[in-house]
Structures are given as C-alpha cells and as structure tokens.
Amino acid sequence: MFTFNPKTNTLEMTQYRHSLQEVKEPNLYRDIFNYTEIPKTIFNHRHVPMMPADELWLTDTTFRDGQQSRSPYTVEQIARIYEYLHRLSGPKGKIKQCEFFLYTDKDKDAVRKCQEKGFEFPEITSWIRATKNDFLLVKEMGLAESGILTSCSDYHIFKKLNMTRQQAMEHYLSIVKMALEIGVKPRCHFEDITRADFYGFVIPFAVELKKLMDESGIPIKIRACDTMGYGITYPGTALPRSVHGIIYGLRHYAEFPSELLEWHGHNDFYKSVVNSAVAWLYGASSINCSLFGIGERTGNTPLEAMIIEYAQLRGTLDGMDTTVITEIADYYKKEIGYDIPSRTPFVGLHFNVTQAGIHADGLLKDEEIYNIFDTERILNRPVGVSINQTSGLAGIAHWLNSYLKLEGENKIDKKHGIVIRVKEWVDAQYAQGRVTAVGDEELIILIRQIAPELL
C-alpha cells in the first residue's frame, strides 16, 4: 500500500507490519548498555526525513516529575506557579498542558485551586495509578486527559513487572480500554523507550493503540519517555537510542499523527535540550518540560530553555511572555527558597554577568558584543558585570552605569575619577588577600562615601 504525502510531495509506502516479538529472555542490549561501562553510541548510517509538525507546543510536568525530586509544593505555591505558567504561555496557549498528581487530598486541593482560575491554558491533566477508581476520580475532577505508565523496555517488563511482552501489552491495553470506557483520554507514557526493542515491542504496541483510537474515536497520546537520558541525535545513530528514529518510527510505522506525539527527556548525559529540539524537528508536536529542569536525578528538559529554543526554530515567541521567566525565578528564590545555580542559562544570577575586564570593556562600548541577546527586553534582566580583581576600569564603569541606571549625558566612562577611585579600593582589597567577588551592597556603601551625588 502507498499514499501521496502532501508534505513531501511523494508517493510513500504506508503499510508496514510489525508484530509483537515474544522472547524468552529480555533484550537488554548488553552490547550498548554494559552496566560496568559507559553506554556506547552505535551508528547504522540510516537517515530519516526531518518533518516538524505544523504546530509546536510545550507541556509542563513541574507538579508531577518535578515534585518527585524535591520537597512538595504547597497548594498556594502550586496555584501561584500555575498562574505564572498561564501568563508565560501567552494568548496562543503555547504551554498547552500541565500535569498534576491526584494521589492525596492536597493534590486534589491544588487542582481545584488552579481550576478556579478558569484558564484555558495550560490545560490541567493528571497522572494516576492504573485503577478504575483513579480513572473515575479523573472524571469526577472534571479532567479530560490523564497520563498512565506503560513501560516499554525489557528492563521494566521482565525485571520490574515480571511479565512477558505479551502479558505487558495485554495489561496496558486493558488499562487504556478502561480509560476509554469511562471517557478519559489516555496519555500513554512509553517509559524507557531509549532502551526498548523498538520493532519488537514499541511499534506493535503503538499499532494496537492506534486501532483502539480509531475504533473509539477518542485520541490517545504517546509520550516517548527518555527516562534515563540515553537519547542520541547524531545523524545516522541506531535505535534504540536514536531520537529522530524513534519519532519517525512512531509516525511512519504506527501512523501516529504528530499532534499526538510528545517527547519527555532527562538530562543524565547533558542532552535533554538538544534531544527535545530534535524530537520537535522530526515530528513530535509537544515537548514535556519542567521549570528549571527540576526532576528525577539530573532533571528534565527545562521549560525556559525550550521556550528560547522555540523562538530560535520558529523565528517568533508566538506571544509567550519571556519576562515572566525572570519573575518565576525570583519567586523560586525568594518565596520557595530554591537555589538556582548562578550560571544556569536565562535564570541564574550570573548568566549574563561578565567578570573579565576585557569583556567588560566591550560591554561598555556596545553590550551586544558580549551579551547573547537583549536580555533586558526579552527577560527583564539587564546585562551585568561582577567586580573582582580582573574587572578593570571598564568593568567598574559598566557596573556603575548599569546598577545606578546612568544614561545619556549622565553615563560615565572608564576614565572618570570616581571609576579610578573605586578601582583603587578594589585593588587594595585583593592586595590584602581577598578571594571573593565584591558584592553590590559593598560597592553602594563605597559610593556613598566617595560620590554620594551619584545616589
């Protein structure tokens, strides 16, 4: 069978039959994942077409995966963060969904508190245990969609569930049918997909889900979960680690439309952002993220990173208000007490702060020389300098102009007498053995002494 693909303007084969491959022993890909060695990157030099979806979306797991790796948020904190996510999402609702636990009374109270706000986006979805009572709870809470765990690697099927592949598939399908009977849209979390037998289990299972979807008329989503961060994006990499191979295969062999495919990545090998971007490029419509990447072990794909990635790929923010990212970071630091590492891109204290004197000299002449983009306009974060023994006159001048908001004719250059006096004080500090950077408050005290008129 073949059909004409209007995206590629070519005739393409559409009928591929991949049946479940039952095995007596689990396929653990020991040639790749030898536990006593670092995993190997294998190439088969096969390439698949890049075909982004018509619409790209972000979804959020801050209150689900994010809460599994830190102290639980209070109901009030969840409601406040959800409000921030709504504002950040913009008028087009680019942060499409936000998933919540429904395990405890506190979880349910948080959902109700967020529902009271009446926001269309992010849509509130749930994560539940695979029981009929939990599905009924989803319905009672007025939620249309829920995530359910459908682990797909033999590590999980054989070692955790103590099942065969056939038993696991039948078990998962029974859960999905239960959801469909109650009228809940299932989101199947294909856990550990980057260690799974793709053609022996993943595709056959996805094919069965597609049949159920076609029969019921209820959409079923697949969330491809790179649970251990094993995903690889190099051209020609082989399954099961190939991100583009996974997304292409789900679209081409299981015939799942892009709008029902979502990527969920982890950062164990520093690849969560690039893996997520490639999943977008090869046809997954949604990327699942958490604020600041907070999540299991090394964390999830950071939401703020993928918003910036979206703008780079699409050439527009589509109405997302990126200044809210800074508000959220401030809220986490001041109200929640979460310490964001200072060099974290876009949200860390020093992400756009330079310390080197030669860089500061460039910033003084034109901040575009050493700033990644207009961080003041886009993130409400003016470019800054940190004063230390290498900052030089230019660094001090830039700090004074920036911190005191001196503009136009009031702006001072590095030859100004006040700059020279501050530089002499800084040099004396380090000559006495100081090793830490000079804080803003220290400099303000000094300015009050030598040049109070500036304040």
Model pTM?
Answer: 0.90
Same domain, 273 and 322: yes
Decide if 221 is inside a domain.
yes
Question: φ and ψ at 314, to 5 degrees?
Answer: -100, -15
Decide if 342 is inside a domain.
no
Nearest-Å Rg of the Cα atoms of the chain is 26
Which letter, b or e, does each residue of 9-40 get, where b requires 16 or more Cβ atoms within 10 Å of its Cβ? eeeeeeeeebebeeeeebbbbeebbeeeeebe
Q: Give the tokens for residue 110.
A: 């948080």
Q: Which residue has the tokens 């990635």?
A: 309
Rounded alpha-carbon distances, angstroms, from residue 95 to 59, 72, 88, 98, 235? 5, 22, 8, 8, 29
Decide if 208 is inside a domain.
yes
Q: Give the orientation angle of helix 105-115 with respect to helix 75-89, to 10 degrees.
A: 40
Q: Which of 281, 306, 336 is the last residue of a domain?
A: 336
Neighbours of 214 (CB within 10 A): 11
Q: Give the tokens for residue 41.
A: 């990157």
Amino acid occupying residue 132: K
Beta strand 145-149 pairing with 185-190: parallel
Same domain, 68 and 201: yes
Decide if 348 is inside a domain.
no
Q: Which of 197, 195, 107 is nearest to 143 (CA)?
A: 107
Decide if 146 is inside a domain.
yes
Q: Give the tokens for residue 440.
A: 């803003």
pLDDT digit of tens for each residue in the chain (455 aa)? Answer: 778 888 788 888 776 778 999 999 999 999 999 999 999 999 999 999 999 999 999 999 999 999 998 999 999 999 999 999 999 999 999 999 999 999 899 999 999 999 999 999 999 999 988 788 888 999 999 999 999 999 999 999 999 999 999 999 999 999 999 999 999 999 999 999 999 999 999 999 999 999 999 999 999 999 999 999 999 999 999 999 999 999 999 999 999 999 999 999 999 999 999 999 999 999 999 999 999 999 999 999 999 999 999 999 999 999 999 999 999 999 999 999 999 998 999 999 889 887 665 666 676 678 888 889 999 999 999 887 778 888 788 888 888 887 777 888 888 888 899 999 999 999 999 899 988 878 888 888 998 998 888 77
Q: The domain containing residue 387 runs over which residues?
A: 353-454
* CA angle at 278 for the pair 176 and 276, rounded to the nearest 5°: 60
Q: How many domains does the chain have?
A: 2
Strand partners, 359: none
Strand partners, 378: none
Same domain, 278 and 308: yes
Residues 164-209 have pLDDT tens digits of 999 999 999 999 999 999 999 999 999 999 999 999 999 999 999 9
Residues 203-244 have pLDDT tens digits of 999 999 999 999 999 999 999 999 999 999 999 999 999 999
* CA angle at 173 for the pair 169 and 174, rounded to the nearest 5°: 120
Same domain, 108 and 215: yes
Distance CA 96, CA 89 (A): 8
Same domain, 122 and 192: yes
Same domain, 286 and 406: no
Q: Which of 441, 38, 26 is nearest to 228 (CA)?
A: 38
Decide if 272 is inside a domain.
yes
